Structure 1
Amino acid sequence: MNRNGLYAVIAILLVAVVGFGIYTYQQQSRPGIEVRVDDGGLSINGNN
């Protein structure tokens, strides 16, 4: 594999890692609610 091909593979992997990081961050910071029913009753919590 020549040097340009190696650089292309590294660039593609870097873009994939950055894209996955952005996707994960957006999923974690997404507003939502959690509803639980247990022995203590009904509990509703927002994740923000």
Structure 2
Amino acid sequence: MSKLNYVLIGVLLAVIVGLGAYIYQEKTKPKGLELRIDGNGLSIQNN
């Protein structure tokens, strides 16, 4: 295999892992209201 094939396989694996992490994060996000207090003040978000 040429180096280009290894690079393409690496990029595809990185995309798959990144997409999997994003989906996992979205599915495990708590439902309901999210209250956040930080330097910008108070923010309320409905999930």
Interval of TM-score (by shorter of Structure 1 and Structure 2)? 0.5 to 0.7
What's the secondary structure of 2:11's corresponding residue? helix
Residues in 1 aligned to 2:25 and 2:2: alpha-carbon distance in whole angstroms: 35
Runs (4+) of structure 1 exceeding 2 A deviation are: none
1:1-48 deviation per Cα after TM superposition (whole angstroms, max 9, x unaligned): x61000000000000000000000000000112xxxxxxxxxxxxxxx
Structure 1 or 2, whichever has the larger Rg, is 1
What's the % identity of the aligned pairs? 34
Q: Is there any run of 5+ residues in structure 2 with no aligned partner, and where?
A: 33-47
What's the TM-score once normalised by structure 1's chain length? 0.62
Aligned-residue CA RMSD in angstroms? 1.2
Q: What is the letter of the counterpart of residue 26 of structure 2?
A: Q
Q: How many residues align?
A: 32
What's the TM-score once normalised by structure 2's chain length? 0.63
Residues in 2 aligned to 1:18 and 1:3: alpha-carbon distance in whole angstroms: 23
Q: Is there any run of 5+ residues in structure 1 with no aligned partner, and where?
A: 34-48
